[in-house]
Amino acid sequence: MQKSLSVYDSDGSTFAPLVVIELVSETKEEAIAWLLNRVRDKQQDGGAELLVEQLTPGAQGTEKDNPNVYVVGASWQRLLYGAEDVGLFKEFNDGSMRGFTYANKHNFKEFQGDGDGFLSMAECQYIIKHELDNLRAKDEAHVPGYPKMKLYPGKSVIRRMQSKGILVQVFPLHEKEELKRLSFSWFKKIKLSFQPLDDIRHYFGEGMALYFGFLEYFTLALIPMALIGIPYYLFDWEDYDKFTVFAGFNLVWCTVILELWKRLSASLAYGWGTLSRKKAFEEPRPGFHGVLGVNPVTGRAEPLYSNAKRQLRIYLVSVPFVLLCLYLSLYVMMIYFDMEGWALMIHDEEPTFWTGLLLFIPSIIYAVVIEIMNLIYRYAAEFLTGWENHRLESTFQNHLVLKVLVFNFFNCFASLFYIAFVMQDMVLLRQSLATLLITSQILNQIMEAFLPYWLQRRRNKKAHKRMIKTMEDKELPLSEQVKLEADMSTYLGTFDDYLELFLLFGYVSLFSCVYPLAAVLVVLNNVTEVYSDAFKMCKVFKRPFSEPAANIGVWQLAFEAMSVIAVVTNCALIGMSPQVKSYFPESETQLIMWVVGFEHFLLASKFILTFVIPDVPKHIQIKLSRLEFESLEALKKRVTGYMRCTADVTLSETPIRFIIQV
Amino acid sequence: MQKSLSVYDSDGSTFAPLVVIELVSETKEEAIAWLLNRVRDKQQDGGAELLVEQLTPGAQGTEKDNPNVYVVGASWQRLLYGAEDVGLFKEFNDGSMRGFTYANKHNFKEFQGDGDGFLSMAECQYIIKHELDNLRAKDEAHVPGYPKMKLYPGKSVIRRMQSKGILVQVFPLHEKEELKRLSFSWFKKIKLSFQPLDDIRHYFGEGMALYFGFLEYFTLALIPMALIGIPYYLFDWEDYDKFTVFAGFNLVWCTVILELWKRLSASLAYGWGTLSRKKAFEEPRPGFHGVLGVNPVTGRAEPLYSNAKRQLRIYLVSVPFVLLCLYLSLYVMMIYFDMEGWALMIHDEEPTFWTGLLLFIPSIIYAVVIEIMNLIYRYAAEFLTGWENHRLESTFQNHLVLKVLVFNFFNCFASLFYIAFVMQDMVLLRQSLATLLITSQILNQIMEAFLPYWLQRRRNKKAHKRMIKTMEDKELPLSEQVKLEADMSTYLGTFDDYLELFLLFGYVSLFSCVYPLAAVLVVLNNVTEVYSDAFKMCKVFKRPFSEPAANIGVWQLAFEAMSVIAVVTNCALIGMSPQVKSYFPESETQLIMWVVGFEHFLLASKFILTFVIPDVPKHIQIKLSRLEFESLEALKKRVTGYMRCTADVTLSETPIRFIIQV
């Protein structure tokens, strides 16, 4: 952990600043004093027992700077207790991953001395975030100084202040030295090597590392498809026999790589200690509101919102809205086909070089419009899902992902489906596929990395200069660093990155048999994507809080659904090809029956394959069952122990009762 | 629990006999003495701490009777500790289901006095079986008196003696009074009422109760289909429009009932305390053999068998064998069609009443042959799966179920598929379906309940008379009861019962649109099935050990797979119907495209429906999360507690470490 920066706390001792809390500049004194006291209070008094100090403006500080910026840290002991609290898994002396406990700390592999350096900075920051989020109101009826900012026993203080807008942001600080090393090994040297996933996980947490791991895996997995696709393009193999072979290979390949990813991600997550980690009880998300009632699970006072009302909002507003958007998307598609026809007409009338170029214009315009519609829809979906008022962040995310996926799938692929199955024009399909794919790749790279970078550069040109200096020089006062980082854009999570990969996967798999070059393009895109994503994480955005993750979650399902749809589309394309048709010159019925039979066979094989390949590699399964077995044995020993000395039973009744409930 | 019977143990006090152990009559004295000692030894000395006595032959005892019959019981306290050991869930004071702990016993709802009557007899027997199974060899190299019966530390003594054949059987005793009451409320009064599932569970355990629950649910769920099917039969609606409606209804209905069953079974299992119960670590099955090595999970000495060898056995022997059997089944089917054609020829040449009857003969013969082939194959499959040498009982069962299911499905339905899709003869399909269904129902009822009953009756006619008397009179010496029960057939588990339901479900769902009366027949069959199954459980078989179960396991999957196949077959049948064909007079291609599209739509809906309907009802989900939340809170309090008084930490280090591992 960084030692270079430190602040003096109220007792005069120093602590390393980990997390920054920014309140609005006009926050009332009493609210600030109350919040700081609650953060500093001992845990038995309901506080978070953390260290927190106001940031003293540096030499270059101006009047305009917000004075209400606080840095938070904690003692090593506090952090170790916190690690036990959040259920962190660490490597044990025997090489297995076990839940860390303070009492047992010396049996963990990397624990030395007083435990300084045992936790990574990202873990410390995650622990502090967890402790801050779990700082709960006691008997305060409202935030002091703000009678309207209601509190009730058990309400998370930070979340209330966040949802009411007096808490601007809470973010973790970058660690310059480590970031420098990471950047260097990650994207600054251009050579063929795997990404430093362990370092990424060490700095950004498991969720981010799994994204980059998946991106890398996905790219590598596409290389065989790309290699097989290249000769098709080079030698112009219009031969559908060969295309059929290619499509068949693709379908099997898609299934296999998705299954293998599950195993790889289980291996990664086991090594990072997130695979067997128990999920903590989920608190309501900050934006959730309702009438105060009693939660049937926790028995705590908490806002409740009727499920029936939420269902009404979903089915009477959200679903019609999504359908309307889909209709709109279809309408835009039809306009595109009109434009396409119009361009073709002009070209046919008097073909010149310029009219030849004109032919590409509608596709490019359509690709741009698609991206814009996706962007607008994304905001609408977020607003609607927020308005549906889901209690949990995970439910919110699932509903959001579903809405966005359906629309993006439709928006991006509807025109291709139309061309393929209604117009049945394979040449146009190939051309559209290429234009859509290339345009959306270029747009994405611009939107994702260069636009935020450029915007930020414009916004604080002066500050930026200082930042550049920071990255090169070694020392910069803490206050300066905090201010610089506070002004950086906030990374909104891996959602958009996964969505992009999902759509690319669609371009590769859905119509792979008509455009084998798609895989090549996607591989090239992904290689640059690794660099631009790494760049944006290190240079453009605030450091995000690390999120423990054991897998890529709902995206695994989305990718699998896409590969099922791909089976259907590819079989249909194969059935429509003239070569296959020529095998059944007399009866079209027989052709269709064969294709449908083949498709059903493929689908059944897919499901059996998914079922047969174990999701967790054998050696990790053994390690997991060993832990489980040990805990069962320990339980048995406890039970027998009590039989031997029944006097003990009354002495320590609470722990036993508790043990069985776990 | 029964009080009427009791035996004197070595101290002169009495205990209620629960379980019977029968050794072969020529077992060596030293082996017997050693076994009894191990069973009686204190737990800290590695014993089972149970009470066991030799059965003293009664007045009617003859020379021929096996003297080596022992009855096992336990003190109430031992049973309560055992209940904690096996992880039994019981109703807590607040109405929730919690893991029973001895220390906390007075907080459980039905716990009164010293706990007599708190556990049902079936639970006591299950606990004793568990303790017996877990009686492990210490440093004995072999069973005393049998140098060839090798033991190694940790090997289950009972299982070794069982696999080597000197332990004939271990079975729980019936409780006459309770059995009488159960029989009366279950099948002796003929009136419309639900089965006494709670009583069945109380007497036979959760696995059995879930089977009868499923049987009842399945029957009730078929009633709407049966009611809709009756007019089709009565009014001879040959109208395919109506059949299409019927098939559509069926497909949706099948999906819905299977989903609802999951919810119902979760409710039942929650109330019985098996839903949230943790699975105990699985020991190798008795028949498993291999070279002694170290189990990587437990670290114990244990026979190991190379996975590669097992895979070779599976893929080089079992799979070819199954394929061969499938081919044989096809061959028999072809012979059936030849016979069918021959009978038809005779009837056509000179049609009389007798030749009309002759038409049914081939179908009936075929149905009988199918049943016989299923039976033979069942034994072959069991032998082969045993030879594959699976380590766990659950893996063994899965491989057995898969083998048996594939063959039975093929054997029972191949001819129907052939008639439907190759011959496309709907009249013959309906006739075959009816013959197969009715014949197999009659055969099943005979094979299942009356044959074992009759065989047993023949085998011990005298004993049987006494048994009849037992059931009527009240008192019979313990030795007589034990001997009677030891001679009863052994119930081999719910496998065959589920398999029968599975095949019936196939008859109803696969070709429902051509023979709507199938549902009626199956409902009638199931009603008698309830009675014959109840009868055989109470009167024909030995009492089985209760098996805790939270759901119907692999059968849920099997039924769901069948309902997916039903979508495909029914759509195909609809597409082949003349009425549907007449909608597309010009193009057969269009017809097929529509049918395929409709089928894909149905399949997609099925998957979405499965995904959308939660598997556990809301109110039970809340109860489960409440327990989980409480244990998390308790964990937190423990952690905070330690921070307040760190002196405690060293004092009770073991429990904390242990808590986190759970």
* Inter-chain touch A98–B628, beta carbons under 8 Å: no
Question: Which structure tokens are listed for B328?
Answer: 């044989």
Compare all CA atoms of chain A with the CA of B88 and give the residue at the minimum distance.
A660
The phi and psi torsions of A392 (rounded to 5 degrees) equal: -105, 150
pLDDT (0 to 100) of residue A403: 93
- B51 class by beta-carbon count within 10 Å (0-12 exposed, 13-18 middle, 19+ buried): buried
Contacts of A592 in chain B (CB under 8 A): 589, 592-593, 596
pLDDT (0 to 100) of residue B380: 93
Chain B: nearest CA to A203, how far in angstroms? 26
pLDDT (0 to 100) of residue B175: 86
Compare all CA atoms of chain A with the CA of B48 and give the residue at the minimum distance.
A640
Chain A: nearest CA to B226, how far in angstroms? 30
**Residue type present at position A329:** S
Question: Which structure tokens are listed for A613?
Answer: 């390949």
Q: What is the pLDDT of residues B7-32, one digit of tens each?
A: 655 555 678 889 999 999 888 889 99
Question: Quick one: how far is CA A231 from the chain centroid?
Answer: 36
Contacts of B600 in chain A (CB under 8 A): 568
- A465 class by beta-carbon count within 10 Å (0-12 exposed, 13-18 middle, 19+ buried): exposed
pLDDT (0 to 100) of residue A64: 67
**Within A14-170, where are the H helices?**
29-40, 76-85, 121-133, 157-163
* Inter-chain touch A662–B629, beta carbons under 8 Å: no
* Inter-chain touch A101–B568, beta carbons under 8 Å: no
d(C-alpha A441, C-alpha A453), whole Å: 18
Element (H, E) at B304: strand B301-304
Residues 6+ apart with CB under 8 A from B450: B532
Chain A: nearest CA to B165, how far in angstroms? 30
Which portions of chain A are predicted below pLDDT 50?
1-4, 639-662
* Inter-chain touch B636–A85, beta carbons under 8 Å: yes
User: How big is the A-B interface in CB pairs under 8 Å?
Assistant: 143
Q: What is the pLDDT of residues A7-49, one digit of tens each?
A: 655 555 678 889 999 999 888 889 999 999 999 998 888 888 8
Q: Has residue B467 got a pLDDT over 80?
A: no
Does B102 or A265 have the greater pLDDT score? A265
3-state secondary structure of B16: coil
CA-based max dimension of chain A: 102
Is B322 in contact with B407 (CB distance < 8 Å)? yes
* Inter-chain touch B657–A103, beta carbons under 8 Å: yes
Contacts of A655 in chain B (CB under 8 A): 638, 652, 655, 659
Question: Which structure tokens are listed for B431?
Answer: 């006739």
Chain A: nearest CA to B515, how far in angstroms? 25
Nearest to B69 by CA among B171, B163, B155: B171
Q: Who among A596, A626, A657 is closest to B101 (CB)?
A: A657
d(C-alpha A624, C-alpha A266), whole Å: 11
Output the CA torsion sign for B284, B290, B296, B298.
Answer: positive
Chain B: nearest CA to A506, how far in angstroms? 18
Is A134 in contact with A48 (CB distance < 8 Å)? yes
User: How many CB atoms neighbour CB B7 within 10 A?
Assistant: 20
pLDDT (0 to 100) of residue B317: 94
> For every residue of B375-443, which 3-state class applies, written as one string?
HHHHHHHHHHHHHCCCCEHHHHHHHHHHHHHHHHHHHHHHHHHHHHHHHCCHHHHHHHHHHHHHHHHHH
Nearest to B327 by CA among B422, B410, B428: B410
Q: Has residue B221 got a pLDDT over 70?
A: yes
Q: Who among B84, B639, B658 is closest to A85 (CB)?
A: B639
Q: What is the pTM of this model?
A: 0.85
Question: Which structure tokens are listed for B303?
Answer: 């026979």
Nearest to A542 by CA among A127, A158, A174: A174
The phi and psi torsions of B381 (rounded to 5 degrees) equal: -65, -40
3-state secondary structure of A284: strand
Q: Strands (DSSP E) along B588-658, which ranges?
A: none
Chain A: nearest CA to B614, how far in angstroms? 14
* Inter-chain touch B296–A622, beta carbons under 8 Å: yes
Q: Testing the interface with B: which of A101, A278, A310, A565 to mutate, by most B Cβ within 10 A?
A: A101
d(C-alpha B505, C-alpha B564), whole Å: 12
Rg of chain A over Cα atoms, rounded to whole angstroms, equals 29
* Inter-chain touch A81–B592, beta carbons under 8 Å: no
Compare all CA atoms of chain A with the CA of B595 and give the residue at the minimum distance.
A596
3-state secondary structure of B367: helix
Chain A: nearest CA to B58, how far in angstroms? 37
Q: What is the pLDDT of residues B583-617, one digit of tens each?
A: 787 777 888 888 899 899 989 988 888 888 888 99
pLDDT (0 to 100) of residue A646: 33
What residues are paired with B301 via a beta bridge?
A: B294
Compare all CA atoms of chain A with the CA of B105 and give the residue at the minimum distance.
A657
* Inter-chain touch A640–B43, beta carbons under 8 Å: yes
d(C-alpha A16, C-alpha A390), whole Å: 37
* Inter-chain touch B101–A298, beta carbons under 8 Å: no
Contacts of A628 in chain B (CB under 8 A): 281
- B212 class by beta-carbon count within 10 Å (0-12 exposed, 13-18 middle, 19+ buried): buried
Residues 6+ apart with CB under 8 A from B329: B373, B407, B410, B411, B414
For B616-629, b/e burial (b = at least 16 CB within 10 A) is bbeebeebbbbbbb
Question: Which structure tokens are listed for A176?
Answer: 């310059």
d(C-alpha B82, C-alpha B79), whole Å: 5
| Cα dihedral A224, A227, A228, A233 in deg (nearest 10) | 150
Residue tagged 């995650």 (tokens): A126
Q: What is the pLDDT of residues A540-554, one digit of tens each?
A: 888 999 888 888 888
Nearest to B617 by CA among B313, B149, B275: B275
pLDDT (0 to 100) of residue B636: 59
Phi/psi-derived region of residue A335, left when phi > 0, alpha when psi is between -120 and 50, beta in every other case: alpha
Task: State ipTM.
Answer: 0.81
Contacts of B659 in chain A (CB under 8 A): 655, 658-659, 662
pLDDT (0 to 100) of residue B246: 78
* Inter-chain touch B653–A297, beta carbons under 8 Å: no
CA B482 vs CA A78, B23, B70, B202, B543: distances in Å = 65, 14, 10, 21, 11
Contacts of A104 in chain B (CB under 8 A): 653, 656-657, 660
User: How many CB atoms neighbour CB A96 within 10 A?
Assistant: 16
Question: Which structure tokens are listed for A649?
Answer: 């039973």
Q: Who among A104, A299, A636 is closest to B657 (CB)?
A: A104
Contacts of B650 in chain A (CB under 8 A): 103
Q: What is the pLDDT of residues B497-551, one digit of tens each?
A: 899 999 999 988 888 778 888 888 899 888 888 888 888 888 888 899 988 888 8
User: How many CB atoms neighbour CB A423 within 10 A?
Assistant: 11
pLDDT (0 to 100) of residue B475: 60
Question: For chain A, first and last CA: distance in Å?
Answer: 34
pLDDT (0 to 100) of residue A203: 92
Range B311-335 average pLDDT: 94
Phi/psi-derived region of residue A8, left when phi > 0, alpha when psi is between -120 and 50, beta in every other case: beta
Half-sphere exposure (Cβ direction) of A578: Cα atoms closer than 13 Å: 5
3-state secondary structure of B511: coil
Q: Who among B592, B640, B656 is closest to A44 (CB)?
A: B640
Query: Sorting pLDDT into bands at 50, 70 and 90, what band is B554?
Result: confident
pLDDT (0 to 100) of residue A241: 66
Compare all CA atoms of chain B with the CA of A99 and give the residue at the minimum distance.
B660
CA B451 vs CA B407, B443, B469, B475, B636: distances in Å = 24, 10, 22, 29, 60
Contacts of A50 in chain B (CB under 8 A): none
pLDDT (0 to 100) of residue A409: 93
Chain B: nearest CA to A511, how far in angstroms? 19
Nearest to B441 by CA among B509, B368, B546: B368
Which string of DSSP letters, residue by residue, matches B522-578? Answer: HHHHHHHHHHHHHHIIIIIBPPPPP---SS-THHHHHHHHHHHHHHHHHHHHHHHSH
Contacts of A632 in chain B (CB under 8 A): 280-281
Specify the pairing of strand A89-91 against strand A97-99: antiparallel
Is A547 in contact with A277 (CB distance < 8 Å)? no
Contacts of B298 in chain A (CB under 8 A): 626, 629
pLDDT (0 to 100) of residue A650: 30
